[in-house]
Amino acid sequence: MRILTFTGKGGVGKTSVSAATAVRLSQLGYRTLILSTDPAHSLSDSFNLPLGSEPTKIRENLYAVEVNPYVDLKKNWHAVQKFYNGIFQAQGVSGVMADEMSILPGMEELFSLLRIKRYKSSGRYDVLVLDTAPTGETLRLLSLPDTLSWGVKAIKNVTKYVVRPLSKPLSKMSDKIAQYIPPEDALDSVDMVFDELEGIREILTDNNKSTVRLVMNAEKMSIKETMRALTYLNLYGFKVDMILVNRLLDTKEDSGYLENWKTIQQKYLGEIEEGFSPLPVKKLKMYEKEIVGLKSLEIFAKDIYGDSDPSRMMYDESPIKFVRNGDVYEVQLKLMFANPVDIDVWVTGDELFVHIGNQRKIITLPISLTGLEPGEAVFKNKWLHIPFDRNHHKQDRMTQQNNNVHN
Residues at the interface with Mg ion (CB under 5 A): 14-15, 42
Based on the shown chain and the rule CB under 6 A, indicate whether residue 304 belongs to the binding site for ligand ATP.
Answer: no
Based on the shown chain and the rule CB under 6 A, indicate whether residue 201 belongs to the binding site for ligand ATP.
Answer: no
Options 3, 5, 13, 242; binder of ligand ATP; rule CB under 6 A = 13
Which is it for the CA torsion 272, 276, 277, 278, positive or negative?
negative
CA distance 384 to 387: 10
Cβ contacts of 333 within 8 Å, gap of 6 or more: 234, 235, 319, 320, 354, 361, 363, 383, 384, 386
Residue 284: which of ligand ATP, Mg ion, none does it interact with, CB under 5 to 8 A by kind?
Answer: ligand ATP
Separation of first and last alpha carbons in the chain: 39
Residue 180 CB, nearest approach to Mg ion (Å): 42
Residue 341 CB, nearest approach to ligand ATP (Å): 32
Based on the shown chain and the rule CB under 6 A, indicate whether residue 141 belongs to the binding site for ligand ATP.
Answer: no
Residue 6 CB, nearest approach to Mg ion (Å): 9
Based on the shown chain and the rule CB under 6 A, indicate whether residue 286 belongs to the binding site for ligand ATP.
Answer: yes
Cβ contacts of 172 within 8 Å, gap of 6 or more: 178
Q: Please answer whether residues 356 and 231 qualify as being in contact, where contact means their C-beta atoms are separated by less than 8 angstroms.
A: yes
Buried b / exposed e across 28-61, counting CB within 10 Å, b at 16+?
A: bebbbbbbbbbeebebbebbeeebeeebbebeeb
Count, residues near ligand ATP per rule CB under 6 A: 18
Based on the shown chain and the rule CB under 6 A, indicate whether residue 298 belongs to the binding site for ligand ATP.
Answer: no
Segments of 218-280 assigned E as strands: 239-248
Q: Which of residues 39-78 bind ligand ATP (CB under 6 A)?
A: 42
CA distance 238 to 245: 20
Based on the shown chain and the rule CB under 6 A, indicate whether residue 14 belongs to the binding site for ligand ATP.
Answer: yes
Based on the shown chain and the rule CB under 6 A, indicate whether residue 259 belongs to the binding site for ligand ATP.
Answer: no
Residue 21 CB, nearest approach to Mg ion (Å): 13
Residue 16: which of Mg ion, ligand ATP, none does it interact with, CB under 5 to 8 A by kind?
Answer: ligand ATP
Based on the shown chain and the rule CB under 6 A, indicate whether residue 318 belongs to the binding site for ligand ATP.
Answer: no
Residue 197: which of Mg ion, ligand ATP, none does it interact with, CB under 5 to 8 A by kind?
Answer: none
Q: Which helix (H) or strand (E) holds 234?
A: helix 220-236
Residue 213: which of ligand ATP, Mg ion, none does it interact with, CB under 5 to 8 A by kind?
Answer: none
User: How far is CA 33 from each of CA 72, 127, 240, rounded to the nearest angstrom?
Assistant: 18, 6, 20
Based on the shown chain and the rule CB under 6 A, indicate whether residue 135 belongs to the binding site for ligand ATP.
Answer: no
Residue type, 350: D
Residue 239 CB, nearest approach to Mg ion (Å): 22
CA distance 57 to 266: 40
Contact window for ligand ATP (CB under 6 A) among 97-105, 158-166, 251-259, 285-293: 285-293
Q: Which of residues 358-397 bind ligand ATP (CB under 6 A)?
A: none
Q: Which residues are near ligand ATP by CB under 6 A?
A: 10-16, 38, 42, 134, 246-247, 284, 286-287, 290-292
